[in-house]
């Protein structure tokens, strides 16, 4: 337990000057130009790796906590940087983390992530809007069990029903499984998928199949 407040944490991770400092420490990962772009809601969204971190001092500095999480993400990005650069859809760490975050929020099981990744890449290549519901919820700033048709009309840069391509930045923090699926998607012709009430995903190549 620390004495750091949520407000202090948010102030630090949203501070443009701090993002510039981080760019000097993590040059492969941190690109202030992308992260501080006009439409990005939170510059470090998706950059703080989800894990358990041990601390052996009472009340460690806030920057230490933040930078340990960034360091863990950085390890993956450094490891994958050639593969990231070679993929035209996700050729920067920011785009890679953004794409991975979509998988993290959409996938109900580990095995589906690579197939969902293939759907998203196929849609980007068409080109078709990604139309992924978690981006709508991120745009709305709330969690809901069901996304309604009226929700899909929210005018926000993160809404992938209204905007082509990837959202401006990550919508969540992804883990290693989503990173790997992003870099090694299944080879499919699927353009659609739907999760049923049991959480099982059903994939389709055509809209007619998807409707069925």
pLDDT of residue 157: 98
The span from the CA of 123 to the CA of 129, in Å, is 7
pLDDT of residue 78: 97
pLDDT of residue 108: 67
Output DSSP code: residue 16. Answer: H
Q: Are 16 and 22 in contact (CB under 8 A)?
A: no
How far, in Å, CA of 49 to CA of 18, rounded? 18
Per-residue confidence (pLDDT) for residue 144, from 0 to 100: 86
CA–CA–CA angle 30, 85, 191 (5° rounding): 105
Strands 201-204 and 192-195: antiparallel
Mean pLDDT per 10-residue section of the chain, whose length is 212 residues: 92 98 98 98 97 90 97 97 97 98 84 92 97 96 88 96 97 96 97 85 90 86
Looking at residue 80, what is its pLDDT? Answer: 97
Q: What's the pTM value of the predicted model, to 2 decimals?
A: 0.95
Identify the pLDDT of residue 196: 81
């Amino acid at each position: 337990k620390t004495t750091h407040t949520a407000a202090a944490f948010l102030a630090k991770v949203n501070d443009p000057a701090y993002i510039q400092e981080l760019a000097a420490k993590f040059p492969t990962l941190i690109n202030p130009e992308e992260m501080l772009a006009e439409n990005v809601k939170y510059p470090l969204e998706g950059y703080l790796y989800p894990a358990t971190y041990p601390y052996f001092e009472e009340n460690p500095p806030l920057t230490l906590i933040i930078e340990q999480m960034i360091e863990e993400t950085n390890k993956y990005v450094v490891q994958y940087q050639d593969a990231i650069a070679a993929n035209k859809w996700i050729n920067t760490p920011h785009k890679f983390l953004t794409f991975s975050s979509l998988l993290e929020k959409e996938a109900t099981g580990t095995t589906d992530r690579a197939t969902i990744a293939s759907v998203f890449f196929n849609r980007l290549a068409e080109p078709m809007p990604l139309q992924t519901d978690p981006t709508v919820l991120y745009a709305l700033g709330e969690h809901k069990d069901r996304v309604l048709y009226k929700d899909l009309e929210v005018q926000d840069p993160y809404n992938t029903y209204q905007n082509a391509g990837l959202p401006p930045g990550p919508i969540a923090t992804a883990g290693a499984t989503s990173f790997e699926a992003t870099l090694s998607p299944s080879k499919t012709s699927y353009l659609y998928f739907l999760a049923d009430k049991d959480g099982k995903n059903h994939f389709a190549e055509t809209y007619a199949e998807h409707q069925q």
